[in-house]
Amino acid sequence: MDRNTGQSTSPGSAPVPPELFTRKRLGPTAEGGVDALVTLAGTVEQGVESSSVVLLDEAGSPLAQLNGRPAADYPLGIRVEVTGRFVTGLRTTAQQGRPFRVEEMKVL
């Protein structure tokens, strides 16, 4: 991939138009922006990456990647209700769910 034009340099591949690329630079804080306050309910489970914790819905799909507390503070395997905000622009190594900053947590 040519860094200047955004076009593929691989033989036989069609060029990718530059307008399909979007570049977003994070603001002055690593956390970026936050969404409105929301409440989610689900089961807390260990994520696929070490030290990541996810909230799963009833079907086992990730609702959110839980942040804002040490991983040891989340009761794995327990159904909880969390109130907080989705964080946009935050880079994480976790591969499941959008980052969610927990402000309150209640065991159900």
- What would the pLDDT profile of 11-29 be if each residue is shown by its tens digit? 444 554 555 444 433 333 3
Task: Say whether pLDDT at 31 is over 50.
Answer: no
Q: How confident is the model at residue 93 (pLDDT cuts 50, 70, 90)?
A: low
- Give dist(CA 30, CA 89) in Å, integer: 8
Q: What is the pLDDT of residue 43?
A: 96
Domain annotation for the chain: domains and CATH numbers: 27-107 (2.40.50.140)
Residues with Cβ within 8 Å of residue 40, at least 6 apart in sequence: 55, 63, 64, 81, 82, 83, 100
